[in-house]
């Protein structure tokens, strides 16, 4: 029996966010939005879901007078991503 895929990471945009963060120390909202092509509103919602799950940390602040949101993957997020990829590999062996 195949293990089910993590439904939180199975969303295209949430998977893209985690995939970006897995390879960098941190990424700001503008960078993630540019890389994913997502709207600001949709990206905000998906970042919030990942944060509530404990997969990413989000720091909000300012650079000068401009608001800045910075995201980092957590250890739980790394584990969830690794498990998701391992599960996909098992699916591909079928």
Q: What are the residue boundaries of the structural domains of the chain, listed by start? A: 12-93
Name which of 78, 89, 79 is nearest 3 in CA terms.
89
56 falls in which pLDDT band (50, 70, 90)? very high
Choices 3.30.420.480, 3.40.190.150, 1.10.645.10, 1.10.10.10: CATH for 12-93: 1.10.10.10
Neighbours of 38 (CB within 10 A): 19
User: What pTM was estimated for this model as a whole?
Assistant: 0.92
- Per-residue pLDDT averaged across 53-58, rounded? 98
pLDDT score of 90 more than 80:
yes
69 falls in which pLDDT band (50, 70, 90)? very high
- Per-residue pLDDT averaged across 7-16, rounded? 96
- Per-residue pLDDT averaged across 70-86, rounded? 97
Across the chain, mean pLDDT equals 96
């Amino acid at each position: 029996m195949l293990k089910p895929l993590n439904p939180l990471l199975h969303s295209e945009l949430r998977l893209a966010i985690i995939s970006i963060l897995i390879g960098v120390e941190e990424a700001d909202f503008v960078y993630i939005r540019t890389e994913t092509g997502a709207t600001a509103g949709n990206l905000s919602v998906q970042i919030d879901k990942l944060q509530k799950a404990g997969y990413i940390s989000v720091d909000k602040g300012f650079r000068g007078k401009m608001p800045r949101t910075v995201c980092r993957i957590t250890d739980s997020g790394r584990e969830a991503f690794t498990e998701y990829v391992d599960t996909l590999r098992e699916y591909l062996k079928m």
